[in-house]
A and B are shown apart, each in its own frame.
Chain A
Amino acid sequence: MNDQTRIDQDRAERTEKLQGMGCKRKRVEDIRFTQGKGSYVDDLKLPGMLFGDFVRSPHAHARIKSIDTSRAKALPGVIAVLTAADLKPLGLHYMPTLAGDVQAVLAEEKVLFQNQEVAFVIAVDRYIASDATELVDVEYEALPCIVDPFKSMLPDAPILREDIQDKMTGAHGPRKHPNHIFEWMIGDKEATDAVFANADVTIKEMLVDHRTHPSPLETCQSVASFDKVKGELTLWGTFQAPHVIRTVVSLISGLPEHKIHVIAPDIGGGFGNKVGAYAGYVCSVVGSIVLGVPVKWVEDRMENLSTTSFARDYHMTTELAATKEGKILAMRVHVLADHGAFDACADPSKWPAGFMNICTGSYDIPVAHLAVDGVYTNKASGGVAYRCSFRVTEAVFAIERAVELLAHKLGMDAAELRIKNFIKAEQFPYQSALGWEYDSGDYHTAMKKAMDTIGYKELREEQARKREAFTRGETRELMGIGISFFTEIVGAGPAKNCDILGIAMFDSAEIRIHPTGSVIARMGTKSQGQGHETTYAQIIATEIGIPADDIMIEEGNTDTAPYGLGTYGSRSTPVAGAATAVAARKIKAKAQMIAAHMLEVHEGDLEWDVDRFRVKGLPEKFKTMKEIAWAAYNSPPPNMEPGLEAVNYYEPPNMTYPFGAYFCVMDIDVDTGVAKTRRFYALDDCGTRINPMIIEGQVHGGLTEAFACAMGQEIRYDEQGNVMGASFMDFFLPTAVETPHWETDHTVTPSPHHPIGAKGVGESPHVGGVPCFSNAVNDAYAFLGAGHIQMPHDAWRLWKVGEKLNLHQ
């Protein structure tokens, strides 16, 4: 072995020991989770703790004539029953939403959706609380309700929100009707209309991204404990954004923020459900403040699916204009957005339709115009971003379906049409027609790799044969090939355009190196299964050369963690991950000065080598990070403050734009409508990869949720506003049997502005997956002249497509 080989081997061994970026490090969290030792909100048991449960409205729209709580209060074990009359003197019967609206905590004069909260019963155990909810007598006068958002703004529509009926200017400008929330527009309307007027080919379709629900396996829950002597409130809860919750609680309760301790313990999945503030949180807080003992609130599944934060319900009239050769010239979209009874979107303040304006997708479209009208209906309020950055699933669904429809109209191959219109690698950073600056991308390379791997040409040939066989009556099976080439926009966001309640959407990391060279780091984000305790440690390990196993990551305690905006919109890696790298580099810079002092050389004479600073040209003269850590506390250089820690509040200069090429091969039995996914291939480019094992896991999970949304999952209402399917009996969550096998792949195009080049990945598979499944279904039926088939594509609906097309003898 020569010297260089020995040096390389030594470096490789030291690098491997770090378990830093790029390795498939096993998760730290799993040690406790596999032993049932996770600590979730409902596991919390405090002395004297009481339980709260809601009385809910059976009506979608009704006037409350009276509420009589006397029978409930008389039940042994019931401690209190709260109604709007109790909250109103405290100013707490309404709370602000993140979207600039207000939302009833407990209904005062009217209920506006089925299962809306009307009273909160507090009892010594959850069984008695539940019993007592049956004993609260509420007299309602039913009112006509609005379920169809297209009827919200009719002249004779019943006025839903009487509380704001005279306020014709909302948080996002003028309202056109008492049931109108906002109109939001972006793009060049005149130029877009002009292109459409003269285009060779146009397509126009109403694309519905139906109402669904994130439905994490753990529902929303909280425990509030108010210490009357100290005047301090501790609030444990299922919070994706604990710091924001603390600020909200302070603003609405009047308690000073430093006397509120918000703790988000282990969270059993979030997917957007746990970003907002809910009536249950507020009522547990009020209950504890009033009674002086801890109060727990735990949502059941029916409550979860029917009240806290639906997603989607976007009705998108989508148009493309193109040349006859297939060059897309313009895009025009109008969205009717059904927000339910209160606008409780969890978007950055200035974005009432989220980042819907990413709807030009991966294509170089010269002009575009987008208009979104938000309306109230008698349905649960929302809608949140279900495993996606704000409204990005909707946007990607719109463009990826529209491109397929255009390809069909042009008689062009859908992959070829996409490739023809891709933004080229040399065009990045790319300014989109609707205002975004895409940071980086290499779409052609990703698409080619995906098509080669899946064997695209052969699949199309097979499909052609199958179509002929179907036409000849030799098979009853249709083959569909779904494509989706998505561009996400994640990592909100730059302060100039992203804030929540006025707080800029930075995020944070605080890293402390202890004298013995072990580390604790705290972030403003909050994992709900993403594995932050594992991956942030990998970033730090690589940056400062301390093994990941010696680094503890802590999140979710607002007293100890630096302020951050939380985990959603795939923002943890793009924002807090960047903060982690920057904080680590501050530590490294100080460590270099200490090392120079220890080695009696100039700082500039040192170079970094995996886990140590060594003297250039004298590799045997070095100080490891562990030695430097001790020196930082024991013998720091003169005039340098002791200690080795840093904090960074990272304000991203731009969002990141992960992308991917997805292919789905599906076989559909026209007589039963049963669709079988034969193959699903997902190529993701999320920039620098921190932990490939966790990335793959995120992709699997996101694809499974996409499969659910596209193929059956739905929150539906009947004409009376009764929510249909608000339990796991009806709401489709795929089991291991239905879920396809996932194939994953990747390319790497690092983000140029992110300190480690990472982009975020958790939501890409969902965003890209939904249109890919829907495109596969639509592609299967396209040659039969089916037109656009709306989601969800469950067997019953696909059977109906067959009926409509006269395919059943």
Chain B
Amino acid sequence: MTKSHIELTINGRTVEALVEPRTLLIHFLREQQNLTGAHIGCDTGHCGACTVDMDDMSVKSCMTFAVQAHGASITTIEGVANADGTLSALQEGFRMMHGLQCGFCTPGMILRAHRLLQENPAPTEDEIRHGISGNLCRCTGYVNIVKSIQYAAAKINGTPFQEAAE
């Protein structure tokens, strides 16, 4: 199959590659770029485990062809940590609030939350719940994911985070 040349930025790094036109972005990232953080949980775009950030939008990379990413700037979970290697506010929030269990949905969930907080820096619980409704988690029941995102928002905004009483 004829391959297409693509050039894009992934986690701040310029990447050139040859891909088949039908290659999905998720397979390009995982198999050609060895960025295995984003996962595949379904075939229908429902689970969001493959979510990455593309040109300032949350994108389900299993619903996107690699060729569509030509010229784009992509951030994956591997590019989320702080420059000094410490956990970002969201990564820290998920750990502190027990916002993950098996970890399979976590990269997609964090990338989605990352974009959500760009769009809405101080979301309410309801806004968070709607904002992550394209990402499924089978383990946590979401209560602690919501808290994780609230924790990160508070840390980024420099406001106090108070864990809601049970």
Contact = CB atoms under 8 A, between A and B. Distances in A.
A40 B101 contact: no
B16 to A, nearest CB: 20
Contact of A36 (B36, B47, B138): B36
| Most B Cβ at <10 Å: residue of A33, A43, A744 | A33
A178 to B, nearest CB: 37
Contacts of B129: 735-737, 739
B36 A34 contact: no
A108 interface: no
A736 B47 contact: no
Contact of A45 (B34, B42, B103): B34
Nearest to B31: A45
A742 B143 contact: yes
B104 A38 contact: yes
Interface in A270-294: 271
B38 A36 contact: yes
B47 A217 contact: yes
Contacts of B110: 34
Contact of A217 (B27, B36, B136): B136
Interface string B90-124: 01101110101111111100100000000000000
Interface string A108-144: 0000000000000000001100000000000000000
Contact of A34 (B94, B142, B146): B94
A30 B139 CA distance: 14
B87 interface: yes
Contacts of A216: 102, 104, 138
A668 B137 CA distance: 26
A32 B46 CA distance: 25
Given A35-B78, A701-B139, A742-B141, A729 B44 contact: yes
A216 B136 CA distance: 10
B132 interface: yes
Interface string B12-41: 000000001011000100110011111111
Contacts of A32: 103
B98 A529 contact: no
Contacts of B84: none
A45 B34 CA distance: 9
B101 A701 contact: yes
B49 interface: yes
A35 B133 contact: no
Contacts of A127: 20, 22-23
Contacts of B38: 36
A300 B37 contact: no
B20 A269 contact: no
Nearest to A745: B166
Contacts of B20: 127
Contacts of B43: 300-302, 727
A736 B47 CA distance: 12
A743 interface: yes
A80 B118 CA distance: 49
B53 to A, nearest CB: 13
B45 to A, nearest CB: 8
A34 B141 contact: no
A401 interface: no
Contact of A733 (B94, B103, B107, B136): B136
A723 to B, nearest CB: 15
B76 interface: yes
Interface string A319-336: 000000000000000000
Nearest to B142: A736
Interface in A5-59: 26-27, 29-38, 40, 42-43, 45
Contact of A701 (B106, B132, B138, B166): B138
A725 to B, nearest CB: 12
Contact of A268 (B39, B140, B141, B143): B39
A267 B105 CA distance: 12
A702 to B, nearest CB: 8
Nearest to A270: B102
A217 B49 contact: yes
A728 B133 CA distance: 13
A531 interface: yes
A532 B81 CA distance: 25
Contacts of A728: 42, 44, 46-47, 136
A218 B140 contact: no
Contacts of B135: 735-736
A216 B110 CA distance: 19
A704 interface: yes
A266 interface: yes
Given A33-B100, A302-B43, A697 B107 contact: no
Interface string B50-74: 0000000000000000000000000
A369 interface: no
| Most A Cβ at <10 Å: residue of B34, B35, B107 | B107
A31 B43 CA distance: 28
Nearest to A29: B103
A269 B137 CA distance: 10
B141 A700 contact: yes
A693 B39 contact: no
B37 A217 contact: no
Given A38-B104, A127-B20, A269-B104, A30 B94 contact: yes
B77 interface: yes
9 contacts: A31-B95, A35-B91, A43-B36, A217-B136, A301-B47, A302-B43, A729-B46, A733-B47, A736-B128
Interface of A: 26-27, 29-38, 40, 42-43, 45, 126-127, 215-219, 266-269, 271, 300-302, 528-531, 693-694, 696-698, 700-705, 727-729, 733, 735-737, 739, 741-745
Given A45-B34, A697-B98, A704-B140, 4 more contacts: A34-B91, A34-B106, A127-B23, A745-B166
Interface of B: 20, 22-23, 27, 30-31, 34-44, 46-47, 49, 76-78, 80-81, 87, 91-92, 94-96, 98, 100-107, 110, 128-130, 132-146, 166
